[in-house]
Amino acid sequence: MRTTITVNGEARSLDLDPRTTLLDTLREHLKLTGAKKGCDHGQCGACTVLVNGVRINSCLSLAVAHDGDEVVSIEGVGTVETLHPVQQAFLTHDAFQCGYCTPGQICSTLGMLDELAAGWPSQETAPGAAPVFNDAEIRERMSGNICRCSAYPQIVAAIKDAREAMA
Amino acid sequence: MKAFTYERASDAKAAVRAAAETPGARFIAGGTNLLDLMKLEIEQPQHLIDVSRLPMAGIEETATGGLRLGAAATNSAVSADERVRARYPVLSEAILAGGSPQLRNKASVAGNLLQRTRCAYFYDTSKPCNKRQSGSGCGALEGLNRNAAIFGASDACIATHTSDMAVALTALCADIETLTPSGDARRFPLADLHRLPGETPHIETHLIAGELITAVVLPPPPPGAQAYRKVRDRASYAGGLASVAVAGGQVALGMVAHKPWRAEAAEAALSSGASASEAIAQELAGASPLGRNDFKIPLVARLATAVITDVAGRAA
């Protein structure tokens, strides 16, 4: 099926089998291998990308269902010369070991910070109250991204720093 | 994944018509559960009708002081809606207890209601499962059934319904609105959507083939406070062992039956003056645990007692 998706600002038109996930479209058809295939079942978060500004699991999305959408993968975040503040904070805090989950962690962080700014609650948010930015909220909101090297303390520290840098 | 054809529905009537006319057709919205099951070839639709962009993602006031949640609204949109948070906090809390943020950003209201069980024997295609393959038997009956139902199960199926959102909607006495394949709108209580397993656990709802859920309608909130609490093996992003939703004097239990379990015996006891622990004991008198899931009896007793007491205290 002819499908056109804007990926990192560039319209890409592809002829895809309807079975193709958004993740496989990025990795296999567009050779954007930043988003990772960890579990391929929405359990690990390594495939997280932003679609129309919202973070989703690209492994649990059919590309044909995203015709006309705007996708941002890790390749569209910062540049090698000028890292995005979230990327810089992950480096500064050594917020990874093997790095496999990192593209998903960073894309998820970007989505999460927007959700927080919009006042979306989590289960750590007091009923009826606006969310506060603290460790418990970060951990809860990032629970869809698994890090098997268990760099969680550094990831939380990086996210806190990045938010300050972006303010 | 088995091959299938795909179309994006132009409007709801075209969607139900296509569903009625195309063999093996299924609706897809967020796809977070359906695609997972298609990869495992547990679900093998021949045709997908994408309803995610139909104009039914809104959340609007009803004439009677309730809220209508469009079937395609994302779980995130509902849980973050200020009207939902203010008037139906149990619903927001329940949604936020389920899945991960990425899943909730994609998953729809109707898809959440129609998600399949997480019973390990349903997922393991090397094992018999009457829900996956009717008549093949139930591997869970004498298997590792720690998370099996304690209410309303049968010899054919002991799986549970795993939605958090549906438990809150059950406590809130929500209705659902649908469009039948002939194009007629109908509305009925959510409590009448899901079936108990009986001898046909593969038939999970009372929907007609090709019928499309278009909205969930919340009546005005009942008097009193509301709360949702879920017990699970880890603190976030895990299916539940048991949950309870309380809205005033209305109580529903989750992950204990093939459908969200309205605790009518407990509600009746509460309304005639019983204490929270006496009331939930009345409900649990009808439970049938299987051995490995015996722990759900004291778990539900303590969980429901705590939440009912908490809600009553906040209302006072």
Q: Which residues of A touch B48 (CB under 8 A)?
A: 18, 62
Tens of pLDDT along chain B (316 residues)? 999 999 999 999 999 999 999 999 999 999 999 999 999 999 999 999 999 999 999 999 999 999 999 999 999 999 999 999 999 999 999 999 999 999 999 999 999 999 999 999 999 999 999 999 999 999 999 999 999 999 999 999 999 999 999 999 999 999 999 999 999 999 999 999 999 999 999 999 999 999 999 999 999 999 999 999 999 999 999 999 999 999 999 999 999 999 999 999 999 999 999 999 999 999 999 999 999 999 999 999 999 999 999 999 997 6
Looking at residue A79, what is its pLDDT?
A: 95
- Enter the tokens of residue B107: 């998953």
Residue B129: which of B210, B62, B42 has the closest Cα? B42
A85-166, CATH topology level: DNA polymerase; domain 1 (1.10.150)
Report the alpha-carbon distance of residue B152 to residue B247 in Å, rounded: 23
Look-up: residue for tokens 């809606």?
Answer: B81
- Range list for CATH 3.10.20.30 in chain A: 2-76
Is 3.65.10.10 the CATH classification of the domain at A2-76?
no
Please report, in angstroms and rounded to a whole number, the separation of the first and last CA atoms in chain B: 54
d(CA B85, CA B68): 14
Q: Are B271 and B265 in contact (CB under 8 A)?
A: no
User: How many C-beta atoms lie closer than 10 Å to residue B190's C-beta?
Assistant: 22
Q: Does ipTM exceed 0.95?
A: yes
**Separation CA A113–CA B59 (nearest Å):** 24
d(CA B74, CA B183): 24
What was the pLDDT predicted at A167? 87
Q: How far apart are CA B240 and CA B172, in angstroms?
A: 20
Tell me where in chain A the CATH 1.10.150.120 domain(s) lie: 85-166
User: Residue B299: what pLDDT?
Assistant: 98
Nearest Cα neighbor of A156 from A166, A141, A148, A167 is A141
Amino acid at A111: G
What are the residues of chain A with a beta carbon less than 8 Å away from any beta carbon of chain B?
Answer: 1, 17-19, 21, 40-42, 45, 48, 54-57, 60-62, 64-65, 67, 108, 111-112, 115, 118-123, 125, 127-128, 139-141, 143-144
> What's the CA dihedral at B63, B213, B93, B163 to 10 degrees?
150
Report CB contact under 8 Å: A123, B236: yes
Length, in residues, of chain B: 316
Mutate to test the interface with B, among A17, A115, A120 (most CBs of B within 10 A): A120
- Going by pLDDT thresholds of 50, 70 and 90, the confidence category of residue A80 is very high
Element (H, E) at A11: strand A10-15
Residue B254 bridge partners (DSSP): B243
pLDDT tens digits, A96-113: 999 999 999 999 999 999
Alpha carbons B269 and A7: distance in angstroms, whole number: 58
- Strands, E assignment, chain B: 5-8, 25-28, 47-50, 59-61, 67-70, 175-179, 185-189, 212-218, 226-232, 240-247, 250-254, 261-262
Residue B28 near chain A (CB below 8 Å): yes
What's the token pair of residue A52? 């129309």
Nearest to A21 by CA among A6, A34, A43, A37: A37
Q: Do B93 and A123 touch (CB under 8 A)?
A: yes
8 Å CB contact between B246 and B171: yes
Asked if the model's pLDDT at residue A155 lies above 80, the reply is yes
